[in-house]
Amino acid sequence: MARKGKKYSESVQKVNKLNRYTFEEAIGLAVDCANARFDESVELAVRLGVDPRHADQMIRGTVVLPNGVGKKVSVAVFAKGEKEKEALDAGADYAGSDELVERVKKGWLEFDKTIATPDMMGSVGKLGRILGPRGMMPNAKLGTVTFDVARAVREIKAGKIDFKVEKTGIVHASMGKVSFGVEKLIENIGAFIETLQRLKPPASKGTYFRTIALSSTMGPGIKIDPIYVKDFLNR
């Protein structure tokens, strides 16, 4: 059985496993429990009252976190002519048409997110086996297949994340870094929870927010009482 480090054990002592915290209390604890030598991420896990096996209860969407995610995101845009220039002017790290597609086919993957104009999807579709398993394939539902490439680039650079409910009904997402501090993390988590609330499907019955847990990368899980969702969103 793996032994836990001294710092982790000290962090665990700060968290009452039987307690259900408010969002503000949990965020403060997560920051306080982060003792790693690197800037830990703050992760949120929300179990929703949905059955993802049914298409009308599949939760998938995007949200621009007000304070970003705390890491530089490299963006590649598949576009032609003026749209290629528009993407680069908006801050894209890479942009191109068929030559960029060929580069990726040969194994080049030095980017985190992709965007494509609709007229490029015939070529980009051939990259499905490469980009798909990595969650990097442009998707119209996520706003990454669009002619408004400038806006798409700016949103991703500003902290746009995409998320999807798992088979177990849980949505996982990074809410930023410990170094953000409590107030900025509260703003990011508020934007995320508000987006989940807006995406609640009509077919979802009973309690929608079932369980909520927060933790830093190396810290213990901290349970939030879903009863506080309404107050948190109305703060």
Give the mean pLDDT of 24-43.
Answer: 93
Q: Give CA–CA dist 212/152, Å, rounded.
A: 30
Q: Give CA–CA dist 98/4, Å, rounded.
A: 50
Give the mean pLDDT of 130-140.
Answer: 95
Q: Indicate whether 62 and 114 sit together in one domain.
A: no
Q: Indicate whether 80 and 149 sit together in one domain.
A: yes
**Which of 9-13, 96-100, 209-213, 223-227 bottoms out in mean pLDDT, i.e. has the lowest?**
9-13
Q: Is residue 1 part of a domain?
A: no
Which of 139, 157, 175 represents a domain boundary (last residue)? 157
Q: Indicate whether 132 and 93 sit together in one domain.
A: yes
Residue 2 pLDDT exceeds 60 = no
DSSP 230: H
Which of 157, 182, 200 represents a domain boundary (last residue)? 157
**Which of 2-11, 26-35, 95-104, 125-134 bottoms out in mean pLDDT, i.e. has the lowest?**
2-11
Give the mean pLDDT of 101-122.
Answer: 97
Q: Give CA–CA dist 216/122, Å, rounded.
A: 41
Residue 174, CA distances (Å) to 54, 104, 127 in order: 26, 27, 27
**pTM of the full structure:** 0.85
Predicted confidence at residue 17, as pLDDT, reads: 79
Q: Indicate whether 112 and 95 sit together in one domain.
A: yes
Query: Domain range holding 96?
Result: 75-157
Q: Is residue 62 part of a domain?
A: yes
Evaluate whether 163 touches 60 at the Cβ level (below 8 Å). yes
Predicted confidence at residue 35, as pLDDT, reads: 85
Evaluate whether 161 touches 196 at the Cβ level (below 8 Å). no
Q: Indicate whether 194 and 210 sit together in one domain.
A: yes
Predicted confidence at residue 18, as pLDDT, reads: 78
Q: Indicate whether 81 and 143 sit together in one domain.
A: yes
Predicted confidence at residue 176, as pLDDT, reads: 96
Domain count, the chain: 2
- When pLDDT is cut at 50, 70 and 90, the band that residue 16 belongs to is confident
Residue 212 pLDDT exceeds 70 = yes
